[in-house]
């Protein structure tokens, strides 16, 4: 059959030529761009997955950048803290030198005080000046904001880390489950006087002293004599009641397992003689005791040495570790803090207190997605002299004590060198030095164990995600080159076939001759 109105072979050849040209364009585009998916039509499912991977890689890349920037912030803060530590050490030396009053004149102490004032002023200046990109690091702007803190329960609270988890504030509940105790020994004195001459050795955490007691000497006088050197032993003595016949108790000045009291009779005769001290179990109420109370007497155990007990408490469901009246919780994922309890609160079982963390802290985004599980929050306390080195120092008129800071060592402060409160000044300085060291340690641990490990894990994730995305999206040049050659050949062949199909209709002209 010879028809000229419809060129079926030409149509077939043209369709094949169009498909060959389309495939050729795809191969050329993939080779030009280097990717296999240039449009959604190329691979709809692959496009969806690859775009998700690209988004995740972008977020993780930024998280790595965030971690590196956080490390720079930590390094900047560390530089300021190192300078503060050096200044505190120099102040410590000046205070120790000033305490050598037998070899130092008042003019020399005044010169030392001038150096101390200058060093304290420098510490406050560093606190106010250390910054990173306009962000103040050591002036307390990165510290947490507290509300409802009861000073009669908690003398001082330091929040190291808190995760708000989308909440406006964090409620902190503190419940004492085991009260703090001093080391305590008890002595019965029914006659109110010593019946014979006795040599006593009184030992405590600060040192040992011996005391010669003459026959007939009052128990009241003995208590006063022991209290005269309590600064050297860390041991105080008091009557159990109103009169000397009520008995005598020996207590460590401070609380905790690091405290102990030892009262021994030297050259004690065989059989023990009349002098005997007793201890009681940890669960016994050591507040108001009397040898006339049968319950108290039944709890007594013969002993010449006793140790104190650390406070134990539950803070937001976590068991807090205690050191005397200090409490600490280390849980970086939710709440990390340290508390200094007052003596009344810390020595009362089942006592409770509550306060709120309403804001503050330094939030670091360490993951590719913005959610609390990929964030961490730490606090950096102020290093100003009025905030650094807070130490509870009790006095005879105020057994609960007051919190004294580094500023108390400046001229005119209650612990300046002119006051000769060298021991209190030394305690404040020790607390300040320890506080700065702890902050440096926490920041160093945060940088090493959180930031650096986070960067390494994220870099591994980037490598794996990039490899996965490449397998889906990137073009295989060997495959595409082979396909390009095939498409070129098919295009050339289809063009030739189409030309032949168009020429076939001309054969009809032979019939008209």
Taking Cα atoms as reference points, which of 59, 138, 73, 148 lies closest to residue 371? Answer: 59
**Position 14 pLDDT exceeds 70:** yes
Residues 437-451: pLDDT tens digits? 999 999 998 999 999
Tell me the per-residue pLDDT of 200-240, one tens digit each, with 9 for 90 and over. 899 999 999 998 888 888 888 888 999 998 888 999 998 88
Q: Model-level pTM? A: 0.80
107 SS3 class: helix
More confident residue, 21 or 81: 81
User: What DSSP line would sit under 295-315, residue for residue?
Assistant: HHHHT-EE-SEEE-B--EEEE
Tokens of 285: 């109420």
Rounded to whole angstroms, how far apart are CA atoms 37 and 20?
19
Q: How far is it, in rounded angstroms, from Cα 191 to Cα 210?
A: 23
Strands 301-302, 277-279: pairing is antiparallel
Q: Is the pLDDT of residue 507 over 60?
A: yes
Q: Which CATH number fits domain 35-142+363-371+393-474: 1.20.1580.10, 1.20.120.530, 3.90.1300.10, 1.20.1330.10?
A: 1.20.1330.10
Asked whether the beta carbons of 91 and 119 are under 8 A apart, the reply is yes
Whole-angstrom distance, CA of residue 150 vs CA of residue 142: 22
Give the tokens for residue 504: 């076939």
SS3 of 473, please?
helix
Q: Is 462 exposed, middle or buried (0-12, 13-18, 19+ CB in 10 A)?
A: middle
Residue 156: is it exposed, middle or buried by C-beta count within 10 angstroms (0-12/13-18/19+)? Answer: middle
Helices 106-129, 44-98: crossing angle, 10 deg rounding: 170
* More confident call, 403 vs 7: 403
The three-state secondary structure class of 141 is coil
Which residues lie across from 132 on neighbouring strands? 135
| pLDDT tens track for 478-503 | 887 887 888 888 888 888 887 887 77
- Tens of pLDDT along 303-336? 999 999 999 999 998 888 889 999 988 865 678 8
Domain ranges in the chain are 35-142+363-371+393-474, 184-307
pLDDT digits (tens, 9 = 90+) for 175-202: 999 999 999 999 888 788 887 888 889 9
Q: Which of 148-152, 273-277, 473-477, 484-488 has the lowest mean pLDDT?
A: 273-277
pLDDT at 489 (0 to 100):
87
């Amino acid at each position: 059959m010879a028809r000229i109105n419809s060129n079926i072979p030409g149509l077939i050849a043209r369709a094949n030529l169009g498909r060959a040209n389309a495939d050729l364009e795809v191969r050329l585009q993939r080779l030009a761009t280097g990717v296999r998916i240039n449009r959604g039509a190329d691979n709809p499912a692959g496009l969806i997955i690859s775009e998700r991977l690209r988004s995740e890689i972008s977020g993780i890349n930024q998280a790595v950048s965030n971690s590196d920037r956080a490390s720079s912030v930590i390094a900047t803060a560390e530089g300021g803290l190192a300078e503060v530590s050096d200044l505190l050490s120099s102040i410590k030396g000046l205070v120790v030198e000033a305490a050598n009053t037998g070899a130092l004149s008042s003019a020399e102490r005044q010169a030392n005080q001038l150096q101390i004032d200058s060093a304290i002023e420098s510490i406050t200046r560093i606190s106010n000046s250390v910054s990173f990109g306009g962000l103040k690091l050591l002036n307390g702007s990165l510290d947490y904001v507290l509300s409802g803190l009861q000073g009669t329960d908690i003398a001082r609270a330091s929040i190291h880390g808190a995760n708000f988890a989308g909440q406006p504030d964090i409620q902190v509940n503190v419940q004492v489950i085991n009260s703090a105790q001093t080391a305590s020994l008890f002595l019965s004195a029914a006659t109110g006087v010593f019946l014979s001459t006795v040599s006593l050795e009184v030992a405590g955490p600060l040192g040992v002293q011996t005391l010669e007691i003459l026959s007939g000497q009052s128990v009241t006088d003995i208590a006063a004599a022991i209290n005269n050197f309590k600064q050297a032993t860390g041991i105080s003595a008091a009557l159990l009641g109103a009169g000397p016949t009520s008995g005598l108790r020996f207590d460590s000045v401070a609380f905790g397992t690091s405290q102990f009291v030892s009262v021994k009779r030297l050259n004690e005769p065989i059989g023990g003689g009349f002098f005997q001290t007793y201890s009681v179990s940890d669960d016994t109420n050591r507040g108001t005791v009397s040898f006339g109370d049968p319950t108290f007497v039944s709890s007594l155990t013969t002993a010449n040495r006793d140790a104190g007990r650390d406070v134990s408490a539950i803070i937001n469901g976590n068991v807090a570790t205690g050191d005397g009246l200090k409490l600490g919780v280390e849980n970086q994922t939710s709440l990390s803090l340290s508390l200094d309890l007052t003596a009344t609160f810390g020595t009362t079982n089942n006592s409770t207190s509550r306060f709120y963390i309403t804001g503050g802290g330094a939030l670091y985004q360490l993951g590719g997605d913005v959610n609390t599980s990929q964030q961490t929050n730490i606090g950096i306390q102020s290093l100003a002299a009025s905030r650094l080195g807070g130490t509870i120092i009790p006095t005879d008129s105020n057994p609960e004590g007051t919190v004294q800071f580094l500023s108390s060592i400046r001229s005119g402060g209650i612990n300046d060198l002119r006051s000769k409160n060298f021991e209190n000044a030394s305690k404040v300085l020790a607390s300040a030095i320890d506080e700065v060291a702890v902050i440096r340690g926490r920041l160093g641990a945060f940088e090493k164990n959180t930031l650096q490990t986070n960067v390494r894990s994220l870099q591994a994730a980037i490598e794996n995600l990039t490899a996965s995305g490449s397998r889906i999206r990137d073009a295989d040049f060997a495959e595409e080159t082979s396909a390009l050659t095939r498409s070129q050949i098919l295009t050339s062949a289809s063009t030739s076939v189409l030309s032949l199909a168009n020429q076939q209709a001309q054969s009809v002209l032979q019939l008209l001759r």
